[in-house]
Amino acid sequence: MPVSKEYLVKRIILLVFVIFGVLFLTFIITRLIPARPELLWAGPHATMEQIEKARKQLHLDQPLYIQFILYLQDFLTGNWGISWRTKAPVLTDVLSTLTATLELVIIAFLIAFITGIPVGVLAALKRYNWIDDLVRIITVIGASMPVFWLALIAQLVFGNWLGLLPSAKRADEWITIVTGFKSITGFYLIDSMLQGNLPVFIDALRRVILPAFVLAAYPFCLTARMTRAVMIEVLSEQHVRSLIAWGLPQRAILFKYCLKNTLVPVIASLGLSFGYTIIGAFMVELVFVWPGIGFYAAMSLLSFDYPAVIGCVITVAIFYCIVNTIVDLVHSIIDPRVRL
Amino acid sequence: MREQPLLQVENLTIDYILADSIIKAVRNASFAIGKGEILCLVGESGSGKTTIGLAIAGALPENAVIREGRIIFKEKRILGRGSKISTGKEDKIMMIFQDPASALNPLFKVGEVISDIIKNHLGIDNSVKIKEKALELFRMVELPDPERVFDSYPHELSGGMLQRVVIAIALSANPALLIADEPTTMLDVTLQAQILNLLLNLRRRLGLSMLFITHNLGVAAEVSDRIIVMYAGEIVEEAKTRELLNNPLHPYTRGLIECIPRTHIRYSKLKSIPGTIPDLRNPPKWCIFADRCTEAVDLCYKIKPDLIEFSKDHRVSCHLYRADKK
């Protein structure tokens, strides 16, 4: 059952408004609240000339409403300023780091989703049994463990002691140069697969495993706990009782009917955490030297690279809105009552 | 020899295990349902009538424990959670529920649910044939526009229509016995009569036996052949409908009959039975109704009365009718 066209259009129009709101807010925060935004924009060691240039760039000599219009125009034309740390346009930096993070986060969430739901279902079915206790203990520990610590331990154990997996970077430069690998989409795994470049694919896959599993720890625990709680609630509902009374096999009741009821809140919560994991991944990215947007944002913050930081903030905010719109659309596919 | 009844319940005793206590929901219930008969279980909320229905349908909640007893359906023993017999196309027990809106999963089209039940019970695999069968059932329960209903989600249908859908689902297995758990309680008065008439019609056409669970003696009087009155988990009286209404023996049954509001007597006060049902965590060892009974004597607080045969097909559990007093 596809999403109705009207609902889709409605959501997209809403999305545009929300993004407009995001831009308005970032405009206020970055241009109105600082006393002299051009000082921040030009960086801590800027000369008078550079500051004057930044003033021009930010259109601070214009009336406020024109400033906002020009701000929107700059945003749409991709003129996000130059990061003075990397000397590259912020937009280019942000896009290339965003895909690195996306590759990591998507794999992490796939792991969390694929493992978390069965574990949660199992715990719900074996309620008050040792399996349930075990799942609850593991998920509490997993959810409360600091992610950088987990990352360091994983790196130490699997990378250093056991030497099973490489524990830094996305790809070995040597292999990429020798095989003549060029990334087009920014997703190494997809690119290398499309180009039939097996050495790079295997290398990239081996390198993504550790950070992805570490990053998956929290969403896995969230999914498992949420699935368990919702499943227990769903199992006690009347419509499940009626299916039992109507003699449907337990397998069908559980995996066709109850699972669908369970998916609604689980997907909603996962979608939310997916949004903030994009930048929250920076701990993992720092430990594994993963050139993602979290890493980039952290580095930019540390060196007061104002244009880059703002670029990251806007990107993540917009990304968050898009992910939530997608979650809402998925939600409406699963639950017909949402399609209003 | 008498004909073997369709369903026989013997000494059924069911507890609900809660975190800190055990509720003795049904104690020593024995009764039988004949072929084509409508038997009504009547009682207040908490009298254990729904629990008995769920036990027969094999859909007791997880925390229910059957302590004792047997349920024999078509001379085969069935009991316990989910242990429903599934041999033969005619050997089914199906159930309909009080609240049709919550009896159906909100995320699934009703057509999908009924298709699954048909597939499961009749073993039809062809989706066109399954749909045909479903539409035929929808027409049988007098649903308007069955095609549209088939493609609707529960929230798109009215309560009366949903109850018809639920009845159609229950009929899809060609059941020999239909358990109807307060099927009209949540509906408007005008719909109640429609659904009751539908059920009576179906009984006539399909030769269905029914266990009709209700708290409303008026409804029971309209539909049933026989009535069992339950109080706090025990059967207190059982008789043919007319006999029970004309000659109620148990003080509780008499109280219930007096509680039926009568429209032709104006200005009469609405009657009620004073008191509440006893605590089922620790039910009294003596007569279960003694605390609320206006005719209780000392004996009632000492010994629990047996369910005795007062006359043919009329059983009652009350010391007032003991053999030596008769």
Assess: ipTM above 0.85: yes
Quick check: B116 contacting A, CB < 8 Å?
Answer: yes
- B224 falls within a domain: yes
> Residue B240: its pLDDT value, please?
93
Give the domain-ending residue among A76, A103, A135: A76
Helix (H, G, I), strand (E, B) or coil at A82: strand
Q: Where among A76, A107, A137 does a domain terminate?
A: A76
Of A5-19, A87-101, B57-71, B99-113, least confident by mean pLDDT is: B57-71
Domain CATH code at residue B56: 3.40.50.300
Q: Same structural domain for residues A120 and A64?
A: no
Whether A225 and A297 share a structural domain: yes
* Of B102, B116, B179, Cβ closest to residue A238: B102
pLDDT band at residue B266 under the 50/70/90 scheme: low
Domain-terminating residue out of A14, A48, A76: A76
Query: For all residues of chain B together, what is the average pLDDT?
Result: 86
Tell me whether residue A63 is in a domain. yes
Whether residue A172 is found in the same domain as residue A52: no
Question: Is residue A196 included in any domain, yes or no?
Answer: yes
The reply to whether A98 and A71 lie within a common domain is: no
A37 falls within a domain: yes
Average confidence (pLDDT) over A254-271: 90
Residue A185 and residue A52 in one domain: no
Question: Could you tell me the CATH number of the domain that includes residue A128?
Answer: 1.10.3720.10
Look at residue B105 and tell me if it is in a domain.
Answer: no
**Which of B162, B160, B159, B164 is CA-nearest to residue B199?**
B164
Q: How many domains does chain A have?
A: 2
Is residue A340 situated within a structural domain? no
For residue B78, give its domain range: 7-92+174-285
Inter-chain touch A247–B155, beta carbons under 8 Å: no
Say whether pLDDT at A231 is over 80.
yes
Residue A88 lies in a domain: no
8 Å CB contact of A236 and B61 = yes
C-alpha closest to that of A105 among A223, A267, A274, A268: A274
Token pair for B61: 């909640």
Taking an 8 Å cut-off on Cβ atoms, the answer to whether B120 and A337 are in contact is no
HEC string for chain B? CCCCCCEEEEEEEEEEECCCCEEEEEEEEEEEECCCCEEEEECCCCCCHHHHHHHHHCCCCCCEEEEEEEEEECCEEECCCCCCCCCCCCCCEEEECCCHHHHCCCCCCHHHHHHHHHHHHHCCCCHHHHHHHHHHHHHHCCCCCHHHHHCCCHHHCCHHHHHHHHHHHHHCCCCCEEEEECCCCCCCHHHHHHHHHHHHHHHHHHCCEEEEEECCHHHHHHHCCEEEEEECCEEEEEEEHHHHHHCCCCHHHHHHHHHCCCCCCCCCCCCCCCCCCCCCCCCCCCCCCHHHCCCCCHHHHCCCCCCEEEECCEEECCHHHCCCCC
Contact A239 B103 (CB under 8 A): yes
Domain range for A55:
5-76
Residue A288 covered by a domain: yes
- Asked if A32 and A166 sit in the same domain, the reply is no
Whole-number percent of chain B with pLDDT over 70: 90
Q: What is the pLDDT of residues B161-210, one digit of tens each?
A: 999 999 999 999 888 899 999 998 888 888 888 999 999 999 999 889 99
Mean pLDDT of chain A: 87
Q: Tens digit of pLDDT for each residue in A126-158?
A: 888 899 999 999 999 988 888 889 999 998 998
B32: how many CB neighbours lie within 10 A of its CB?
A: 17
What confidence tier does B82 reach under pLDDT thresholds 50, 70, 90? very low
Task: Indicate if A14 and A120 belong to the same structural domain.
Answer: no
> Which residue in B58, B82, B105 is closest to A239 by CB distance?
B105
Same domain, A243 and A178: yes
Which pLDDT score, from 0 to 100, does residue B84 have? 45
Q: Would you say residue A57 lies in a domain?
A: yes
B107-116 pLDDT tens trace: 999 999 999 9
Across residues A174-186, what is the average pLDDT?
A: 79
Please state the domain count of chain B.
1
Q: Does B57 contact A at CB distance below 8 Å?
A: yes
User: Is residue B280 in some structural domain?
Assistant: yes
Task: Determine the pLDDT at residue B81.
Answer: 42
Phi-psi region of B164 (alpha: psi -120 to 50; beta: other; left: phi over 0): alpha
Same domain, yes or no, for A103 and A37?
A: no
Residue in A closest to B155 by C-alpha = A337
At B83-112, the pLDDT tens digits run 444 444 446 889 999 999 899 999 999 999
Same domain, A49 and A116: no
Which of B102, B108, B169 is opposite residue A246, by nearest beta carbon? B169
- Do A174 and A206 share a domain, yes or no? yes
| Residue-level pLDDT at B167 | 94
Side-chain half-sphere exposure of B93, counting CA atoms within 13 A? 30
User: Are both A100 and A72 inside the same structural domain?
Assistant: no
Q: Do B59 and A237 touch (CB under 8 A)?
A: no
Interface test with B, best of A234, A235, A242, A259 (most B CBs within 10 A): A242
A82 located within any domain: no
Residue B55's closest chain A neighbor by CA?
A245
